Amino acid sequence: MRKNKFIKGIKSKAKQIGLSIKNFFIHLVLKMKRLMKEFKKDPKKFIKKRYKRFKKACVRNKDFVAFVAVSVLNSTVLRFVTVHNYFAIKPFLADLSVVLFIGSFGFLIKPKRRNAYFIGFNIFLTLICFINSIYYTFYSSFSSVSLLATSRFVVDVGDSVTENVFQVKDLIYWIGPIFLIWYYRHLKKKHFVKSDASKKKFVHSIVAALVCLFFFVITLTPLEIGRFAKQWNREYIVTKFGLYTYHINDLIQSIKPQLSSLFGYDKAMKEFKAYYEERDTSHEENKYTDIFEGKNVIVIHAESLQNFVIGLKINGQEVAPNFTKLAKEGLYFDNFYTQVSVGTSSDSEFTFNTSLMPSYNGTVFVSYFDREYVSTPKLLKEKGYYTFSMHANTGDFWNRNVMHQNLGYDRFYSKDDYEVLDEDIVGLGLSDESFFAQSVDYIKEIKEKNQPFLGTLITLSNHTPFSDTDKYGDFKVSLIEKDESGNEVEYPYLEGTKLGNYLKSVHYADKAFGEFVEKMKQEGLWENTVLVVYGDHDARLPKNDFVRMYNYDKENDDILPEDDENYVEFGSYQYELNRKTPFIIWTQDQEVSGTIHNVMGMYDVQPTLGNMFGFSNPYALGHDIFDIKDKNIVVFPNSDWVTNKVYYNAQKGEYLALTQEPISEDYIEQCNTYASSLLDVSNDIVVYDLIRKEREASESYTEEVSE
């Protein structure tokens, strides 16, 4: 009896709330209709009348106006200093509508508590701006709600954040809440009288928010709406939709994966099947087909190793002599791009092993570690391989101790498996020199017990902030030349720059790698073994440092003027293209050699190695580079893409031609369509666990038929 009474009470209360909400919206709609009717009757009179009321309302509600102004100003300043989105009306209207909506609820609160509400929410919005300002400095993108799951990793790279990411400019956003607190105290001293909680003012504020939203929405194009829904390119969305709108959408996108059964699973599965049915999976054999079948594989995941260091010399001394030697002796892909998102190194590992792209939200290693993937370790295990991975960092960093097992590694050697002495610490942890030396001993044991094997070694020393310069050895990045008298003169050049410190770090990492190659050779471990090396991502170096490197004026210790005939242009597009990393395949007897210039992405590695080692992944998104050759396209997680002909920037809707060949609009449109489909299907595979679902459905069907 009591239970029924309780349930009836809940139903009654719910009904009352439902009616209240319904009545509110009816009132809101009627209010909007009256305003539209009044506007149509006499627009001039309407605007004049509303302006007077607006002015009067601002004077009477200074606390509300201050909250709105400070909150919108912060998001505007953020766009100024990040995407340089100066005086754009669209994102301003979007952010304004969000802030008006949030602020309107202040009128439902008693005057004594209203200021606390405004200050509290302003601090929250300021925190969003502050975090994004710091995040953008490091990743050239904006933060995501789903990244909260990875925030614990910041502790392990704390020096990197404080030394290279956090800057004084990031504090500017806190001027807003400080001003707001002072201003509210000032109003209190002036005996500024606020009216009681007012539903009327609440409605007026909501109407104002809807008006702003209306004018914002009518300016949007179908293309902008489509990109907003998919949220590939965070920069683009903040540029067009504002920061606060982006984060509301991001929150929704972050929740969706947890409720995948309610959000488009059937549609995703249908498009997944259609994509692979229409995809051309034909593959012609080439001279590399099965060339390495049955051989051991050692993969070096080279931290932050960029391609421009290959062959680079300063004062006649090579920055990376061992990597350069390997590139000359082996098969060197000099137009290779990683396709990382916010998961950086973990994204590289994921794409390298699965030929899938990073997810739209969060990182696969943390948010989607329990999905089924067709990975290189699993495919080689089917061929009798023993698989292992090695990394001298903690096992839970990027959730590797769990994800490496899911990828098919039989054994993951982490920090606990290495002897870490204080004198062996370089940068974030155990030096590459010590890591490689101890790893060789493990590899020797593995080879004695298991044949063949796949081993992945993940380096650590060449990681930002590149500040352990006293441990990198003696490598000068100043410029040393002889004057007319034959005396040596030293010019600062890159000393003191982040790029200069990076080159010193690379030189150290290269030395450690060279020692590893030699020790493996001494132990006879290169026999019947293939070495694969890839840079996991670029080093996030400042563009201005590259401008200095290519345009140094030694006489003035400055940069050459742009009108100088020797000036080398290094703009944003050159910077993006310069982010490529080396990819090298090498054997001791140099079975394969040469330089491949065709553009290649990380998702092309698995199909390319699969052709060489005799395995294939039916869900791979990349291609065997020796099959697709110059027709390849590399798609990035933010929907940019590059081919041999074009680099396309999705945010700006612009492209840079890389050859003299004319580029048609049809070609751009076809590549955009290809990129869109690829990103969608990859994300759906990850979010909805489609590989597992499709295999389970296939197994069920087989069982039914057999019965």
**pLDDT(155) > 50:** no
Q: Can you give the pLDDT at residue 154?
A: 45
Domain co-membership, 199 together with 83? yes
Distances (CA, A) of 317 to 402, 531, 541: 42, 25, 22
Domain co-membership, 29 together with 96? no
Taking only the tens place, the pLDDT of each residue in 206-252 is 888 998 898 899 888 887 887 777 665 678 889 899 999 999 988 87
Domain co-membership, 452 together with 351? yes
- Average pLDDT rounded to a whole number, residues 74-98: 90
Residue 402 lies in a domain: yes
Q: Can you give the pLDDT at residue 259?
A: 63
Taking only the tens place, the pLDDT of each residue in 643-669 is 999 999 998 889 999 999 999 999 999
**pLDDT(13) > 70:** no
Domain co-membership, 308 together with 223? no
Domain co-membership, 53 together with 21? no
Q: What whole-number percentage of the chain has pLDDT above 70?
A: 85
**pLDDT(641) > 80:** yes
**pLDDT(22) > 70:** no
The number of domains in the chain is: 3
**pLDDT(596) > 60:** yes
Q: Can you give the pLDDT at residue 221?
A: 85
Domain co-membership, 63 together with 184? yes
Q: Can you give the pLDDT at residue 624?
A: 97
Amino acid at 119: I
* Residues 269, 689: Cα–Cα separation, whole Å: 10
Distances (CA, A) of 104 to 32, 67, 117, 206, 379: 17, 11, 11, 6, 57
* Residues 4, 17: Cα–Cα separation, whole Å: 20
C-alpha angle 676-255-683 in degrees, rounded to nearest 5 = 25
Domain co-membership, 175 together with 296? no
CATH code for position 392: 3.40.720.10
* Residues 440, 533: Cα–Cα separation, whole Å: 16
Residue 96 lies in a domain: yes
Taking only the tens place, the pLDDT of each residue in 422-444 is 999 998 899 999 999 999 999 99
Q: Can you give the pLDDT at residue 276?
A: 94
Residue 611 lies in a domain: yes
Number of residues assigned to the chain: 707
Nearest one of 346, 302, 364 to 686, comparing CA atoms: 364
Residue 345 lies in a domain: yes
> What pTM value is reported for the model?
0.76
**pLDDT(593) > 80:** yes
Which of 48-52, 640-644, 681-685 has the weakest average pLDDT? Answer: 48-52
Q: Can you give the pLDDT at residue 598?
A: 98
- CB-CB contact of 357 with 679 (8 Å): yes
CA dihedral (104, 110, 113, 115) positive or negative: positive
Domain co-membership, 110 together with 219? yes
End-to-end CA distance of the chain: 52
**Among the three residues 263, 279, 303, which one is the final residue of a domain in this structure?**
263
> Which structural domain, as residue segments, surrounds residue 14?
1-33
Residue 279 lies in a domain: no
Domain co-membership, 333 together with 255? no
Q: Does a cis peptide bond (omega within 30 degrees of 0) precede residue 452?
A: yes
Residue 84 lies in a domain: yes
Residue 556 lies in a domain: no
Q: Can you give the pLDDT at residue 225?
A: 82
Q: Quick one: pLDDT band at residue 452, thresholds 50, 70, 90?
A: very high
Domain co-membership, 217 together with 154? yes
Task: Give 560's DSSP letter.
Answer: P
Residue 275 lies in a domain: no
Domain co-membership, 256 together with 297? no
Q: Can you give the pLDDT at residue 137?
A: 77
**pLDDT(152) > 80:** no
Domain co-membership, 310 together with 245? no
Helices (H), 578-707: 605-613, 625-628, 665-688, 690-706
Q: Can you give the pLDDT at residue 156?
A: 46
**pLDDT(459) > 50:** yes
Amino acid at 319: V
